[in-house]
């Protein structure tokens, strides 16, 4: 054992001037600089993300609230069916003058003089014109309601809705704004009486397209997007994975496969609108499929997603260690067995990640859908992927083109819904990954 403290042991000395300059300080400075670059890049990214999210949320959260007016509506037989023809003429209940019921209830509520037409018109303008269909549907569903007085919650007209949410600048001259002073006064009167109030807007999820903001929703777009995602998933995952396995594991490496590989990489970079043109030419003009249909949209998005999935899957297959293949082959497993029993399960997390990235990309895609006619005013829910529908990003695009204040908040509201849809998809992907990764 050596003992450093013992006087018999000499420790070598080294004069300071013999120390070489090997640039230690410079190296550490470079490292610090690099870290600063990295941190500032991430901070900048986070800042923009926060800015984006806060703008969208602050603009859009009001879209999830809707002003409603609850009025005791008297379903007067005199108005709905003055000649008592409803048992013989089915049309009678469909064509009755329902707005009159709303007018009467409102006049009564506000204590107006029913003969002063302009004033009454201003009052009835506060209620959405969708009240007509709402009351009609109630009566058609249950004709026994005629003759009774029932409290009905009606949508407020979009401008009243905006005014009640404080989005309209009341200091502007009355002639320059859509909400008149008298209407504001009534609005406050109704609000004080508890008749007019804000409540959660279920309509934005369930309504289809409408030119009246208060009656417009992303319901049809949600269903359309859902159909398309299912079609994309069902088509692109098996096709993409099968193509990747063949190219990666079975195909001979020659000019032809090189060419295919280059083409797949190029296709991944082709602008999406080109896929829209392709879909228009092939699926609609040549194959005669219906326009605006989620089926065609799904096909187009499948074509667009395939290269992404193939590239991700091939990368995942390549990343499986060759020792696993050797182990299986050495045991006498056939190539098929090696791939399906060992390689594919290990590549699964990577494949799923690629697929979800592709799907998320497809979900947010607008341009190709415009070309196949999915930018449409669709009021009714599509019963199948063959019926006309729209998609979430297309709905956002259409609402962004509208002028009304109420559509501004709805645009942001739809963006929030799209983001939530995406978050759920990614969540599903993460859960699936976990499931596969847990098998080591």
Partner 1 sequence: MSEAAVEKALDQKMNTVPLKMIGKDVSVYYGEKRALFDVNLNIRENTVTALIGPSGCGKSTFLRTLNRMNDTIENCRVTGRITLDEDDIYDPSIDVVELRARVGMVFQKPNPFPKSIYENVSYGPRIHGLARSKADFDEVVETSLQKAGLWNEVKDRLQEPGTGLSGGQQQRLCIARAVAVSPEVILMDEPCSALDPIATAKVEELIHELRANFTIVIVTHSMQQAARVSQRTAMFHLGNLVEENDTDKMFTNPDDQRTQDYIMGRFG
C-beta closer to partner 1: residue 20 or 439: 439
Q: Looking at 55, 149, 202, 334, which residue binds partner 1 (CB under 8 A)?
A: 334
Interface positions, 232-261, toward partner 1 (CB under 8 A): 253
Q: From the CB of 432, what's the least distance to partner 1, in Å?
A: 18
Q: Which range in 129-137, 230-238, 337-345, 387-395 contacts partner 1 by CB under 8 A?
A: 337-345
End-to-end CA distance of the chain: give it in Å, rounded: 48
Interface positions, 267-326, toward partner 1 (CB under 8 A): 321, 323-326
Does 346 bind partner 1 (CB under 8 A)? Our answer is yes
Coil/strand/helix, residue 214: helix
Coil/strand/helix, residue 283: helix
Tell which residue, 348, 362, 287, 295, has the closest CA to residue 319.
Answer: 348
Q: From the CB of 253, what's the least distance to partner 1, in Å?
A: 7
C-beta closer to partner 1: residue 114 or 327: 327
**Length of the chain measured in residues:** 440
Q: From the CB of 433, what's the least distance to partner 1, in Å?
A: 15
d(CA 367, CA 117): 48
Give backbone dihedrals phi and psi of 12, rounded to 5 degrees, phi first: -65, 145
C-beta closer to partner 1: residue 116 or 335: 335
Q: Which range in 115-123, 186-194, 279-287, 327-335 contacts partner 1 by CB under 8 A?
A: 327-335
C-beta closer to partner 1: residue 100 or 329: 329
Q: Looking at 333, 379, 419, 432, which residue binds partner 1 (CB under 8 A)?
A: 333
Q: What is the DSSP secondary-structure string of 162-202?
A: HHHTT-S-TTS-GGGSSS-HHHHHHHHHHHHTTSEEEEE--
Q: Looking at 105, 328, 359, 392, which residue binds partner 1 (CB under 8 A)?
A: 328
Calculate the alpha carbon distances from 322 to 249, 271, 329, 407, 440 in Å. 12, 36, 11, 56, 17
Task: For residue 332, count other CB atoms closer than 10 A to its CB.
Answer: 7
Tokens read off for 20: 């070489």
Q: From the CB of 324, what's the least distance to partner 1, in Å?
A: 6
Does 329 bind partner 1 (CB under 8 A)? Our answer is yes
Tokens read off for 414: 């739809």
d(CA 351, CA 144): 59
Number of residues that bind partner 1 (CB under 8 A): 20
Does 165 bind partner 1 (CB under 8 A)? Our answer is no
Q: From the CB of 313, what's the least distance to partner 1, in Å?
A: 19
C-beta closer to partner 1: residue 59 or 257: 257
Tokens read off for 174: 């009355």
Q: Looking at 14, 25, 78, 439, which residue binds partner 1 (CB under 8 A)?
A: 439
Q: What is the DSSP secondary-structure string of 332-396?
A: T--HHHIIIIIIHHHHHHHHHHHHHHHHHHHHT--HHHHHTT-S----SPPSSTTSB---HHHHH
Does 331 bind partner 1 (CB under 8 A)? Our answer is yes
Coil/strand/helix, residue 107: helix
81 DSSP 8-state letter: -
Residues in contact with partner 1 by the rule CB under 8 A = 253, 321, 323-334, 337, 341-342, 346, 439-440
């Amino acid at each position: 054992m050596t003992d450093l403290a013992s006087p018999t042991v000499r420790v070598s000395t080294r004069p300071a001037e013999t120390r070489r300059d090997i640039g230690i300080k410079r190296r550490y400075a470079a490292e610090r600089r690099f870290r600063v670059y990295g941190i500032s890049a991430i901070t900048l990214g986070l800042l923009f993300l926060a800015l984006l999210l806060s703008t969208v949320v602050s603009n859009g959260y009001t879209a999830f609230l809707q002003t409603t007016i609850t009025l005791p509506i008297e379903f007067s037989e005199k108005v709905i069916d003055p000649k008592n023809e409803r048992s013989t003429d089915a049309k009678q209940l469909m064509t009755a003058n329902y707005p009159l019921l709303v007018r009467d209830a409102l006049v009564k509520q506000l204590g107006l003089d029913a003969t002063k037409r302009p004033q009454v018109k201003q009052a009835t303008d506060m209620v959405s014109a969708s009240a007509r269909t709402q009351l009609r549907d109630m009566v058609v569903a249950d004709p026994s309601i005629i003759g009774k007085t029932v409290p009905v919650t009606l949508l407020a007209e979009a401008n009243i809705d905006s005014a009640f949410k404080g989005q309209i600048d009341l200091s502007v001259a009355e002639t320059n704004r859509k909400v008149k002073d008298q209407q504001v006064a009534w609005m406050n009167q109704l609000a004080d009486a508890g008749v007019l109030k804000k409540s959660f807007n279920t309509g934005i999820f369930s309504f289809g397209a409408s030119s009246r903001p208060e009656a417009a929703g992303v319901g049809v777009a949600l269903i359309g997007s859902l159909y398309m995602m299912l079609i994309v998933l069902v088509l692109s995952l098996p096709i993409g994975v099968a193509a990747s396995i063949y190219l990666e594991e079975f195909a001979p490496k020659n000019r032809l496969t090189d060419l295919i590989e280059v083409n797949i990489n190029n296709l991944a970079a082709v602008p999406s609108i080109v896929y829209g043109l392709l879909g228009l030419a092939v699926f609609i003009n040549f194959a005669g499929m219906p326009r605006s249909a989620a089926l065609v949209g799904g096909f187009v998005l499948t074509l667009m997603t395939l290269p992404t999935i193939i590239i991700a899957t091939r990368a995942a297959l390549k990343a499986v260690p060759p020792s696993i293949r050797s182990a299986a082959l050495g045991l006498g497993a056939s190539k098929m067995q090696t791939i399906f029993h060992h390689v594919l399960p290990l590549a699964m997390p990577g494949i799923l990640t690629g697929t979800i990235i592709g799907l998320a990309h497809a979900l947010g895609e607008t341009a190709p859908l415009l070309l196949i006619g999915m930018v449409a005013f669709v009021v009714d829910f599509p019963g199948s992927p063959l019926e006309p529908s729209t998609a979430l990003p297309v709905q956002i695009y259409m609402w962004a083109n509208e002028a009304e204040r109420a559509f501004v908040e709805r645009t942001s509201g739809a963006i929030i819904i799209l983001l939530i849809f995406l978050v759920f998809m990614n969540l599903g992907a993460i859960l699936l990954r976990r499931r596969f990764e847990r098998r080591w």
